[in-house]
Amino acid sequence: MESEEYKQMRALALEQLRSGVSLTGKDGAFAPLIKEFLETALQAEMDAHLDVQERQNGNKRNGKGTKRIKTSTGEVEIETPQDRLSSFEPQIVRKRETILADNLAPKIIGLYGLGMSFRDISEHIKEMYDVEISHSTLSEITDRIIPKVKEWQNRPLESVYTIVWLDAIHYKVKDGGKVVGRAVYNVLAVNTEGRKDLIGMYVSETEGANFWLSVLTDLKARGVKDILIACTDNLAGFSEAILSVFPQADVQSCIVHQVRNSLKYVASKDQKIFMNDLKKVYQAPNKSQAETELLNLEEIWGKKYPVVIRSWNNNWEKLSTYFQYDESIRKLIYTTNAVEGFHRQIRKVTKTKGAFPNDMALLKLIYLATMNVSKKWTQPLQNWALTVQQLCIKFGDRMKISL
């Protein structure tokens, strides 16, 4: 037989369901069930806490308090048991906790990691769960990942990485009442199994070889003993910084960056024909042919654009490293497009932000976005079976793989 109380609750639930009223909100039909469950659980925890030892120490129940709890099913007010010695530490609803983290926190952090603002998250939570959450509470919840960010930044790394792309992405951050620039240094790597991993993420005021040196030193301290191929932009002093920490690394400067920089100093009316001649250099089948085409380029354009030709000659050794490898590896290393592609994915998440309130707010969001992007990095790079054999032949004992 159904109790009268149950019949009343069922009738109220049906009425609210038909009228569109939240069943789990403050006055919802299901709110009493949630309240009863939480209060019963708290009482059980108190019973377990007040064991023989506690009672011998003079501890006992000391009335009840009240607190409002926000859950994914609405907001309820519950009675909380108290003990005389204040040693009771409830687990289902912890002290000073106003939101049941196991219910809402993962959802909030997930939405934040997709680039939603606190305002948008608050509106979404209100619409979905009939719960209002302040910006300060949302900030507190997202701050819970800060220890994870720091732990991830300092995690141990593998001893050998086959290919590493190094590049920075730039943002605005508030600092001392001013909006200043920040460079986020990212190190995207491929391990000996062919899988991508972001092995480094650092924040600095500006991009420069000196800071990159500290980044590389940190990678070494975290366990990296060898990098086979390092791919960089054309930042002055970058190659020297890499070789000072990993002296055996092959360094490849980005061809695309070099081409873009070259075109800045070529008149627009000459750019099309100049590019046709320049492509013969970096698209040559081998280094010898490329050097022949570079001499031809200098003969045709050297007098008109001496600065451009001088730049190619001065940087040639760093620009031509990729000619040591076959086509499949060349495509991976002749440009920093791999890390730039990663940056484009991160930008999709961060583009809604203006200036971040601080460096950690910036790191939090990039970390969460990285966790989402890296979910797709479970398989080796395309044609890795062939690539790894070539790397083994090229680097010998430095290429450590297990068969």
**Do 224 and 147 lie in a common domain?**
no
Indicate the pairing of strand 226-232 with strand 160-175.
parallel
Q: What is the pLDDT of residues 301-353, one digit of tens each?
A: 999 999 999 999 999 999 999 999 988 899 999 999 999 999 999 999 898 78
Has residue 402 been placed in a domain? no
pLDDT at 104: 66
Has residue 330 been placed in a domain? yes
**Do 108 and 170 lie in a common domain?**
no
**Do 356 and 213 lie in a common domain?**
yes
| Domain count of the fold of the chain | 3
pLDDT at 309: 96
**Do 57 and 178 lie in a common domain?**
no
Has residue 403 been placed in a domain? no
pLDDT category at 37 given cuts 50, 70, 90 is: low
**Do 147 and 258 lie in a common domain?**
no
**Do 162 and 148 lie in a common domain?**
no
**Do 144 and 175 lie in a common domain?**
no
Bigger pLDDT: 72 vs 125: 125
Q: Which residues make Cβ contacts (< 8 Å) with residue 349, sequence separation at least 6?
A: 113, 114, 115, 365, 368, 369, 372
**Of 112, 133, 152, which residue sits at a domain end?**
152
pLDDT at 106: 73
Mean pLDDT score, 85-103 = 70
- Concatenated DSSP letters of 73-114: TEEEEEEEEEETTS----SSS-TT--B-HHHHHHHHHHHHHT
Distances (CA, A) of 168 to 227, 309, 336, 350: 19, 27, 11, 15
**Do 209 and 141 lie in a common domain?**
no
Q: What is the pLDDT of residues 43-64, one digit of tens each?
A: 878 888 899 888 999 999 999 9
**Do 262 and 222 lie in a common domain?**
yes
Q: Which range marks the domain in which residue 181 is found? A: 153-397
Q: What is the pLDDT of residues 162-217, one digit of tens each?
A: 999 999 999 999 988 899 999 999 999 999 999 999 999 999 877 778 889 999 99
**Do 269 and 239 lie in a common domain?**
yes
pLDDT beyond 80 at 116: yes
Q: What is the pLDDT of residues 217-254, one digit of tens each?
A: 999 999 999 999 999 987 878 889 999 999 999 999 99
**Do 138 and 177 lie in a common domain?**
no
**Do 15 and 55 lie in a common domain?**
yes
